[in-house]
Structure 1
Amino acid sequence: MADTKREIERKYESDDSGLPDLTGVAGVAEVLDKGTAELDATYYDTSDLRLASASITLRRRTGGSDAGWHLKLPVGPGVRDEIQVPLSDTVPDELAGLVRARVREGQLVPVVRLRSARDVRDLVDAEGKQLAEVGVDTVRAERLFGGDGTAQWTEIEVELADGGDIRVLDKVEKRLRKSGVRPSKSSSKLARALAETKGGQPRPEAEPAEPVTAGDHVLAYVRAQRDAVVDLDPAVRQDTEESVHDMRVATRRLRSTFKSFGKVLDREVTDPIGDELKWLAGELGVGRDQEVLAERLNTVLDELAPTLVHGPVRDRLAAWSKAEYGGARSRLLGVLDSPRYLALLDTLDAVVADPPVLEAAAKNPEKVLAKAVRKDFAKVAALIEEGMEQPSGADRDLGLHEARKKAKRTRYAAEAAGPALGGPAKALVKSMKSLQSLLGDHQDSVMVRTTLGELAAVAHAAGENTFTYGLLYGREERRAERVEEAAPEAWATAKDGMDV
C-alpha cells in the first residue's frame, strides 16, 4: 500500500564545521539530537536519464525510519510529493506505473548508489511540537550505469514537519546564511551525483527562443499542452482531484490547435494525431462525464424539500454512481498502460521536435493567427444561429452542443494567439469562456435528463415511486429553456466585443 506525503525541504552546502547553532532561530525552543542514521539508496532511471531530466527521483533505500521504495514528483521549487511503498527486490508495479509516461518502452536500471551518514536534529517549539527536521548528510556517491566514478560531499537538509508553517524554513535559512551557509547548487542528491561522476547528467530540452513567427507561437502552445499531458499522467493514475479534467482539456487544446492552425501545421500530419487525441479525450471523459452528472444530480436532489423525495432515490443514485465510477476508473488505468497511449506520447514528442510546418509558419504572427481565430469565430456564429432556428428538442440540443464545441475551439485558438495579439485575444478568450459555460449548462441539462429517464425506468421496473425523477426532469427542462433564452444576448455580447 502506497503512502503519499508532501515534502517541503531546502538543501545547503556544508563543510567540516557541520551544523551552526540553531537555538537562536525564532520560535525554536530546543534542538533535539536524534542520533545518526546510516542510509543506503539506489536510484533507478532509464539509460538516457528521462526521470532525472524531469526532476523525478525513484529510489530503493534501506536504513532510517522510512526504508522502502520512494518516488518523488516535483510540485514546485523545494516542494515534492513523495510516494512510498514497502521494500521489495524489484521496482514496484505501482511506482513503475506512475513514471510510465516518462519511461514508456524503456527499462528502469540502477544508475547511482548513495550511502549517507545522516546526523539528525529535530527543531521543536516550547510545547515540544516538531517544527522541522535538520540533517547533516555525509554522502558517498557511486555511478552504476552510464558512466563511472565516485563523489563525496556534505550537505545540510532542512525539511518542514508535516503541516508546518513554511515561515519556519525562512527563519532557519536566515540563521544559516548569517553563519556563512549557502543554498545548494543542486536540486537533489541524485542531481549532484550525476553531475560529479563520469557520464554526466541529463541534457535538458533546449529552452525555446522568444516566439517571433506564427509557427513559433503555435508550437509554443502545442509544447505546453504536450507537457501538461505528460506531467498530469501520475496525478490521473493517483485519482488526484481535477487531474482527469485537466488532462482532458490539454488533449482538447492540442486537437483544436491542429485544426485551427491548419495553415501553419500540415494537417496531413496532424489530423491522424488529432484522431488519437479525440480517442484519449473520450476515454478520459468516460469517468469525468459520469462524475459531473453525479454531482449535478446530487445538487438538484439536495435542493428539493424532503416531502418531494419519494422512494429510495438517493440510494439508487449512490449505487449508480459507484458502479459507473468503478468501471470507468479501471478502464482508464488500462488506457494509460496501453501501447496506443504511449505511442501517442511519442508522436507528440516528434511533432514538437520536428514540426510539420507549412509556408505560413514563417510569416507575421499577427496576420496569420488573427485570420485563423476569425475563421473559428465565424463558425460559432453560424452554429448559434442555426441551433436557435431549430424547434425546441433534440435538434436544438444538438445544434447548441456543436456551437459549444466551436466556442471552445475559438477560445483555445485565441489562447494560442494571445502572446501575439495581446488584449483583443484575451478579451475573446473571456467572452468565449462565458459562452462556452452557458452552453455547457444546456448540455449538462440534456445529459442529466437522459440519466434521469434511465434511472426512472429502472426504478419503475423495481416497483418504486418515480415521482421525484419526473419532478427533477421537469426542472432540468426549465433550466435548458433559461439557457436558450439567454444564449442570443450572450452571443450578441461576444460578437460586439470581437476585435481580433
Structure 2
Amino acid sequence: MPQRSAVSSATETERKYTAADSGSLPDLAGLPRVAGIDVDTVELSAQYYDTADLRLLQSKITLRRREGGDDAGWHVKLPGGVDTRTELHFPLDGAGASSDEPPAELMNLLLGVRRGMPVSLAALLTTSRHRHRLQGSDGTLLAEVVEDDVVAVRGSDGAEVNWREIEVEIAPSAGSHDMATLFEAIEQRLAAGGISRSFSPSKVHRVLGDLLPAAPELAEGARYLRDYLVHELHTLDLSDIAVRRNEPDAVHSMRKASRRIRSAVQTYAADFGLDEALVDELRWFGRRLSPSRDLEVQWERLAERVSEIPVDPYREATKTRIDEYFSAKSETARIEALAALDSQRYLSLLHSLDTLVDELGKTLPARRRKSELNPEKLAQSVAAVAKNVDKRVARVLKADDPHERDERMHRARKGAKRMRYAIEVIAPLHPKRTTRILARFDDFQDMLGEFQDSVVSREHLLDILSEQGHAAESSFGLGILYRLEGEIGRQQAAHLEPAWKKALRSAEKLWA
C-alpha cells in the first residue's frame, strides 16, 4: 500500500504593501462585514532554501522552513493567479523532517524545477508580526492585515536587509464574492494612509531579487522566440510539480507545453541555429506522457458516451467494464510518466532547454544583428510548415481505405499543431491578425481532435471486447459505442478540406 503523503495544500490570497519605517496602520474599523478586530504579535523565523543559481526563485517558487505562528513547518509556495498562490505544508514533526534538511517528499516534488541540483540556505529572515485579525459578526475570520518588521540575512554574502511591510490576506472563509470587495476596501484605507502596493512579490525576492539575471537586450525575432520558450518552460516546471501531485489535467498541461517548445525549436531551428537534437528528446518525452493523458481523455469520453446506449441494464454493465479497463491501464501509465520525470534523461533535457534559452539571450542586440533575424523572415518559416500541412491534407483526400485515411488524418493533425504553435511564437508581430488566425486554427484543430479521439476510442473498444469474461450486456453496449464512434469519425473527416482551406486562407496573411 502506498505511503500516505504528509503534504497538505491550501490556496492563499494576499497582497503586499510598502510601509514607511515609521507611522502606524490606518484605522481598520468600519470595513465591509467586519464586526471585530483581534490584535496580537507573533515572532517568526524562516529559512529559505534554493539552488546555487536560484532556480526556484526564478520560477517564482519558494521553499522555506518556518518556526513560530500558526503554520510552523516546511512550506513550498507555488504561483497561481493574480494575488493567489498555492502553499504546500509539511509539518516539522513529519516523517523525514529535520532541522536543516528539506523533507525528501518536498525535494522530490521540486526535482524537475531544481534540475536535480541540491539546495542550500539562501536567506534567513526573522519577522516581528503585528496581526490585525478582521472578524465577522459570528466570529468568522475574514482577513488578516499584518505589519511585518523584517530582518533578513543573505546566505551568499551575509548582507543584511531591514524593512517594514504590510500584508493583507483574505481568509477562505470570507467567501469568493466578498473577497474582492474586502480587498479593495482595505486597499483604499491603506492608500489614504500613504501605503502603496509593494514592488516585490515576496520577502525572499526582496532579499535575493538583485541576484537574478537581468532580461537581455535582443533582436526582435529572437526576443519573441526567447519569451515564448521561457513562458512554456515555466509552464513545464509548474506542470511537473502538478503531475507529481496527481492533479487534474496536469499531464495535459505538461504535454502541451513540451509540444509547444518542440514545435518552436523545430520551426525556427534554421533561423537561429538551434540544436535540432532537442526535437527528438522532446518527442521522446511527449511519448512518455501521452499514454497517461490519452487514457484520461478516453475514459471520460466513453463514460459520457454510455448514456447513448438505449437499454438501462446494458448501460450499467458497459460503464462498469469501461471503468475497470481504464482504471488498470491509467495506473500503469501514471507509473511510467513518473518514471520519466525521475529519469536522468529528463533532467538532461531540461538542462539543454535552459542552455538553449541562455544562448538565445546572448544573441546580438538588434542594431548589430544581420538581416537573418528580420521578423518578417520568421513568417516564411511558418509558410514552409503550412506547405507541408497542405500536402498532408491532400494525401488524406486520396486515401483508399478508412485505415489509411485515419493514419493520414493523424499526420495532418500533428502538422497543424506545429503550425499553430509556430504562429504563437511570432504573434507579437501582428497581435490582432494572429488572434483571428489562431481562432480559425482552434476550429480546425477541434475538428481534427474530435476525429482522432474517435479513432482512439474505437481502438480501446476493440481492446476491451477482446478481453475474456464479458457479459452479453456489456458486449452489446460496447458494440453500440463502436458504431457511434465510427459515425463521428466519418462526419469529422468530411469537414477536413473546407476547414483547412479556411484556416490556411487566414494564416496566409502573415506571409503573403
**How far does residue 473 in structure 1 lie from its aligned partner after superposition?**
0.7
**How far does residue 288 in structure 1 lie from its aligned partner after superposition?**
0.4
Matched-pair contact (CA < 8 Å) for 2:35–2:137:
yes
**How far does residue 350 in structure 1 lie from its aligned partner after superposition?**
1.1
Q: Tell whether 2:348 aligns with 1:337.
A: no
**Equivalence for 2:3:** none
* Residue among 280, 283, 288 paired with 1:283: 288
Q: 2:426, 2:272 → 1: CA distance?
A: 14
Q: 2:183, 2:503 → 1: CA distance?
A: 48
Distance 1:173 1:465, change over 3 A: closer
**Equivalence for 1:189:** 203
Matched-pair contact (CA < 8 Å) for 2:259–2:282:
yes
**Equivalence for 1:157:** 167
Unaligned stretches of 5+ residues in structure 2:
1-5
Matched-pair contact (CA < 8 Å) for 2:151–2:160:
yes
Specify the SS of the correspondent of 1:466: helix
* Residue among 420, 437, 441 paired with 1:432: 441
* Residue among 233, 237, 240 paired with 2:247: 240
Distance 1:310 1:458, change over 3 A: farther
**Equivalence for 1:133:** 144
**Equivalence for 1:394:** 403
Paired letter, 1:167: T
* Residues 201-238 of structure 1: per-residue CA shift (max 9 Å, x gap): 422341555x53x4444444333333332343222322
**Equivalence for 1:69:** 74
* Residue among 470, 488, 500 paired with 1:491: 500
Distance 1:464 1:360, change over 3 A: farther
* Residues 317-376 of structure 1: per-residue CA shift (max 9 Å, x gap): 11222222222222222222221111111111111111498998734322x223222222
Matched-pair contact (CA < 8 Å) for 1:397–1:446:
yes
**How far does residue 152 in structure 1 lie from its aligned partner after superposition?**
3.7
Distance 1:73 1:208, change over 3 A: farther
**How far does residue 92 in structure 1 lie from its aligned partner after superposition?**
1.3
Stretch moving more, 131-140 or 65-74: 131-140
Specify the SS of the correspondent of 2:137: coil
Matched-pair contact (CA < 8 Å) for 1:215–1:362:
no
Paired letter, 2:498: E
Q: 1:361, 1:279 → 2: CA distance?
A: 34
**Equivalence for 2:38:** 32
The within-5 A match list for 1:469-488 is 469-488=478-497
Q: Tell whether 2:129 aligns with 1:118.
A: yes
Matched-pair contact (CA < 8 Å) for 2:382–2:419:
yes
The within-5 A match list for 1:93-104 is 93-104=104-115
* Residue among 27, 30, 41 paired with 1:21: 27
**Equivalence for 1:175:** 189
* Residues 432-452 of structure 1: per-residue CA shift (max 9 Å, x gap): 332222122111111101110
**How far does residue 461 in structure 1 lie from its aligned partner after superposition?**
5.9
Distance 1:376 1:84, change over 3 A: same
Paired letter, 2:164: T
Distance 1:135 1:341, change over 3 A: same
Paired letter, 1:255: R
Q: Tell whether 2:231 aligns with 1:224.
A: yes
Specify the SS of the correspondent of 1:270: coil
Distance 1:459 1:315, change over 3 A: farther
TM-score by length of 1: 0.89
Specify the SS of the correspondent of 1:115: strand
Paired letter, 2:270: K
Task: Give the share of equivalent positions with the same residue, in percent.
Answer: 34
* Residues 225-281 of structure 1: per-residue CA shift (max 9 Å, x gap): 333323432223223333321221121122222222343033xx5321000000111
**Equivalence for 1:106:** 117
Specify the SS of the correspondent of 2:211: coil
Specify the SS of the correspondent of 2:465: helix
Unaligned stretches of 5+ residues in structure 1:
196-200
Matched-pair contact (CA < 8 Å) for 2:133–2:141:
yes
* Residue among 444, 456, 465 paired with 2:465: 456
Matched-pair contact (CA < 8 Å) for 2:59–2:234:
no
The within-5 A match list for 1:42-53 is 42-53=47-58
Specify the SS of the correspondent of 1:100: coil
Distance 1:380 1:181, change over 3 A: closer
**Equivalence for 1:198:** none
Distance 1:78 1:334, change over 3 A: same
Q: Tell whether 2:217 aligns with 1:203.
A: no
